[in-house]
Amino acid sequence: MNTKATVPAPPAAPEAQESYIVSEGKKRGSTREVREEAAFDRYYTVLRVHPGDAILTDNWHTNEVLDHARNNFEGYTFAMRTLEAWGAMFENDRRAYYTAGGRVWVMDLEPCEGKKKRLPGFGAGKK
C-alpha cells in the first residue's frame, strides 16, 4: 500500500497592487490601473502647465484646451496615482506630460508631503 502524503502548497505571495479606486475627480469610485511606483501616496503640486518646446497654432481649440488644463491643474496638489489615472506620464519628480485635445502638455511639478489647499493666484479666479 502506497501512502503518499499530499503536502499543501505554500500560500502564494500577494500580488502587487494593480488598481485602486479613484477618490478624486469627476469619476469617483471607478477603478483605474496604476504602476507599482504610483501605488503609494506621493503628492505633487502642479506649478505650471505649458506646451514645452512645442510650437502651437494660435487658434480657438488650442487656447481652450490649454486654458482648461491650466485652470484645472495649476496650483492644485494631487496624489501621483490620481494624475496617472487621468493620463499624466511622469518623467521625474519635477515633470510630467499630459495629453489633452490631441496635444501633449508639460506639467512642472513640486513634490510635497501631502494634500494641501490650492496655491493662491492660480485658476480662473486669479487676479
User: What SS3 state is found at 118?
Assistant: coil
Report phi then psi at 7, rounded to 5. Answer: -100, 125
pLDDT digits 0-9 by tens, 39-72: 467 899 999 999 988 888 888 998 999 999 999 9
Q: How far apart are CA 39 and CA 28, in angstroms?
A: 17
**pLDDT score at 35:** 64
**pLDDT score at 14:** 47
pTM of the model: 0.66
User: What SS3 state is found at 70?
Assistant: helix
Residues of the chain with pLDDT under 70: 1-40, 123-127
